[in-house]
Amino acid sequence: MQAFTIQFQGSAAQLADIDLPEPGTGQVRIAIKACGLNFADLLMQKGTYQDTPEAPFTLGMEVAGVVDKLGNGVTRLNVGDRVAVYSGQGGLAEYGVFYASRAIPLPDAISFENAAAIQIAYGTSHIALDHRAHLRSGETLLVTGAAGGVGLTAVEIGKLMGATVIAHARGQEKLDVARAAGADHLIDASEDLRARVKELGGADVVYDAVGGDVFKAAFRATNPEGRLLPIGFAGGDVPQIPANHLLVKNLTVIGFYIGGYLKFRPQIVQDSFDTLFGWLAEGRIKPHISHVLPLAEADEGMQLLRDRVATGKVVITP
């Protein structure tokens, strides 16, 4: 089969022919129909992601497809079942082997593309805002990088949870995407973020996917007793947080990494996915997919993320 693999640590990912994998005990083989791309895939290529596997490995963290073969001991799934899996790796291939315990049955009403686009981005925003930051209806949520893969879902979920949402992004096209997702106020990256947020009454919760100077400005525009979620560092710089300012305004900076919950509290992720797939089936959330590409163009899909051309999700369809 074909797979987009990293053969040696530090080498560039490339499309290669590899052996068809066989499922082990508790695993299933899936004929992959769609795989969502994530910024973490770029970090894995550089070896800088916190959960980068040992080479060789296949990129692709979230998949949807059809169960093709069962390993020993698997009883809750059948060959032919439509499923989604937060796999962590192995998704950019024609087939993949994953633990059955991570597979979520998909109703026919949910497309493979949407199922592959929803897990990491929506799961990150939902758990971060609900379980970690305890966002409340009527509060003001500031989302930076608001047209990106996770930022856009934070806008949508924040609005669904009853918050007033301020979206920060670069350029009118991306701001229009954030507005369509429910943003109440828009701030272009060329504007003074701190001043504009202050004009709007400050932020109670900050969901920052950019880092660097953007985080610093958002930090200074946070209201007393506000909560800040440093979700990612797409801007390249990891911000240093002045602890004395935390004391003065009684602020809370909240660490969050969805992959960590799979190791020590996997039920949190499962419960979130149950909620999200329910919302998706009801039409309460609508994944924004800017590009759908074949497996042969996986590298082009990665370049869309590098160049920050994509809005929402890029999905690969093997």
* pLDDT at residue 263 tops 90: no
Per-residue confidence (pLDDT) for residue 293, from 0 to 100: 98
- Identify the residue with better confidence: 141 or 44: 141
- Identify the residue with better confidence: 47 or 38: 38
pLDDT digits (tens, 9 = 90+) for 154-181: 999 999 999 999 999 999 999 999 999 9
Domain C-terminal end among 203, 232, 253: 253
pLDDT digits (tens, 9 = 90+) for 205-255: 999 999 999 999 999 999 999 999 999 887 778 888 988 989 999 999 999
Domain C-terminal end among 208, 225, 253: 253
Residue 46: pLDDT band with limits 50, 70, 90:
confident
Per-residue confidence (pLDDT) for residue 32, from 0 to 100: 98
CATH classification at residue 20:
3.90.180.10
Is residue 218 assigned to a domain? yes
CB 201 within 8 A of CB 178: no
* pLDDT at residue 95 tops 80: yes
pLDDT digits (tens, 9 = 90+) for 212-223: 999 999 999 999
In this structure, are 14 and 111 located in the same domain? yes
Task: Quote the CA–CA distance of 126 and 146 in Å, as a whole number.
Answer: 15
Tell me how many helices (H) and strands (E) the chain has. Answer: 10, 16
- For a pLDDT cut of 90, what percent of the chain falls above it? 83
Find the helix or strand (DSSP H, E) in which 104 lies: strand 103-105
- Identify the residue with better confidence: 49 or 32: 32
Radius of gyration of the chain (CA): 20
pLDDT digits (tens, 9 = 90+) for 298-310: 999 999 999 988 8
Residue of 118, 55, 124 whose CA lies nearest to 89: 55
Domain C-terminal end among 253, 276, 296: 253
Average pLDDT taken over every residue of the chain: 94
Residue 153, domain extent: 134-253
Count Cβ atoms within 10 A of the Cβ of residue 8 and give its class: 0-12 exposed, 13-18 middle, 19 or more buried.
Answer: exposed
